[in-house]
Amino acid sequence: MTTSHSVVLVADPSPPRNRVVRRFLRHRLALFGVVTLLLLVLACVVGPWLLPYDQLSIDIRKRFAPPFTGLHFFGTDPLGRDLAARLLMAGRVSLMVGFSAMLVSVALGATVGLVAGYLRGWVGATLMRIVDAFLAFPSVFLVLVLAAFTEPSPLAITLIIAATSWMEIARIVEAETRSLRERDFVLAARLLGSSHLRIIGRELLPNAIGPIIVAATLTVAQAILLEAYISFLGYGIQPPLPSWGNMLNSAQQYLGSAPWLAIVPGIAIALAVTSFNFVGDGLRDALDARSEER
């Protein structure tokens, strides 16, 4: 530091926690999202034990039963398997893949964003150009190629989805870090002799956590959609392990005779993704100090 700075105390710009919670609770769609997600997760975790049918038990006599036939609430599939049981098992897989992919891509994206935003210079520029390069590929194309080139397993699919959805978070975190690093508390930390790693981990990351949480929520939605896309196209989760996407793949050919096979998993996907999007939107409004005056 060649120039001398007078240390100016700036009020903490992040709104107090209870105000954030209050604003979030006012967001009705976000509440709808939270409740739906809780119910969905609960159903997927507990549901398969409560249903009278196993998701893999085949009953050829009862194939293509329409919804509400006896205890088959959502009907049966071409092999007579209970659709509700399959839907809930598929939900476990799809939600798990979506959530895990989010964790990996947030870790990757936040790291790249923090490093690029903090160091700037040619390291930051190079990192951000790499982000741009990844963004140039339509993600469905890239995910499909990677999935086709590797042995498909839930873990591989998760990593592949994460590998193609970290860029947005990196961009957000980079922009946030760039502005944060000029702030007085970072300067203070540096004057105290904190190491780069400590400044990134203890000063920058906690202050950038708001945008990261918002982006993470929206990333889960995107990851669930992406899994659905590639599984629908036959390169994602492989049967007999069900996922919402591959249930739709097999439903396609029975569209005319058994439309519920396509409609039920589709609604599940739409419900889950919409909910995550609503929650992300609500979090953004709640964490954004500027939305106070509205």
Partner 1 sequence: MTRFLIQRFVQSLIILVLVSVIGFFVLNLAPGGPLSQFSLSPGMSQAELDRIAAQMGLDRPLPVQYLDWFGRLLGGDWGNSFRDGRPVLEVIGGHLPATLLLMGSSTLVSVVIGGWVGVLGAIRRYSVFDYLATIGAMIALSIPTFWFGLVAIYVFSLELGWLPAGNMYTIGDQSLSDYASHLVLPTLVLALVNVAIWSRYMRSSTLDVIGEDFVRTAQAKGLSDWRVLRDHVIRNALLPMITLAGLQLPTLLGGALVTETVFTWPGMGRLFLDSLGYNDYPVIMGILMFSAVLVLLGNLLADLLVAVVDPRIRIS
Nearer to partner 1 among residue 118 and residue 278 (C-beta) = 278
Rounded CA Rg of the chain = 23
Taking the complex as a whole, how short is the minimal distance between the CB of residue 18 and partner 1, in angstroms? 26
Tokens at 187, concatenated: 């300067």
- Contact status: 133 vs partner 1 (CB under 8 A): yes
d(CA 177, CA 116): 8
Per CB under 8 A, which region of 2-10, 188-196, 209-217, 267-275 contacts partner 1?
267-275
Chosen residue from 262, 279, 283, 287 binding partner 1 by CB under 8 A:
262
Q: What is the dihedral of CA 117, 119, 123, 126, to 10 degrees?
A: 10
Nearer to partner 1 among residue 170 and residue 180 (C-beta) = 170
Chosen residue from 252, 289, 291, 292 binding partner 1 by CB under 8 A:
252
Chosen residue from 41, 103, 135, 241 binding partner 1 by CB under 8 A:
135
Per CB under 8 A, which region of 13-21, 115-123, 171-179, 226-234 contacts partner 1?
226-234
- Contact status: 132 vs partner 1 (CB under 8 A): yes
- Contact status: 251 vs partner 1 (CB under 8 A): yes
Cis before 240 (ω within 30): yes
Chosen residue from 94, 210, 235, 284 binding partner 1 by CB under 8 A:
235
Taking the complex as a whole, how short is the minimal distance between the CB of residue 224 and partner 1, in angstroms? 9
**Largest distance between two CA atoms of the chain:** 84
Per CB under 8 A, which region of 15-23, 37-45, 116-124, 265-273 contacts partner 1?
265-273
